[in-house]
Amino acid sequence: MTAGTELRLADLFRLTGKRAVVTGASSGLGMRFSRVLAEAGATVFAAARRADRLESLAAQHPGIKPVTCDVCDPAQLATLVEESGPVDVLVNNAGMGGAATIEAEPLDVLRQVMDVNFVAAFELCRLVGASAPQTGASIINVASIQGLVAGHPLGSASYSASKGALIALTRETAAQWGRRNIRVNALAPGWFRTEMTADLFADEPASRFVARNTMLGRAGEGAELDGALLFLASDASSYTTGQVLVVDGGWTAR
């Protein structure tokens, strides 16, 4: 391999000059995704409700711009896109979990989970798609393996439904916008140690269940999503759209 080839390969994953929006950026994967995109050269508009956490995140990298935003408020979503646009990369990461059994999930819980996990992503896709630069854009919907397979006994009906809907939205918007070079893909993590799953992994039987049913015999670490995120965000995936990239240690292959 020549030095020139190595340089071109490295450039495939660069995001220099790109403008990115990451929702749910005040914790967990969203915080990490913001840092990864900024390290790759993007200006990242990190959006979430907790302003203090966003300020702390922005202090870690000059390329991260904090934006206080409630994703359940359409007016705030419109302002987010207006202030950060034109958006080259959108990462719909904001999410929340549900109860363990459907009996414990009345309609108000379902509506809340759907609003955060799906409706907000739908609206942001719509806004970014309408104002995307002529060169195109990459939209990454952070789904879950629970949108593909049942999560019981660790899953949630409302959460699974929201992630399944997000995957369907990914396919449909990819089809509608392909000729405009707007690529839409879903990133579907398996069981990762994050702030959202802290209680799950603090429970020894649940933690053993994850390890026992994952081909690699363990939960994932946040860094193991970095490559998948950069692939979907960058020109490395220029001919990839409408796809679900599963990163789950082999969970869904069983």
- Active-site residue numbers? 159
Of the candidates 144, 141, 136, the one whose C-alpha atom is nearest the C-alpha of residue 122 is: 141
Q: Cβ of 34: how many Cβ atoms within 10 Å?
A: 34
Neighbour-count burial of 52, counting CB atoms closer than 10 A to its CB (0-12 exposed, 13-18 middle, 19+ buried): exposed
8 A C-beta contact, residue 66 and residue 39: no
Closest CA to 187 of 113, 89, 112, 109: 89
d(CA 234, CA 22): 15
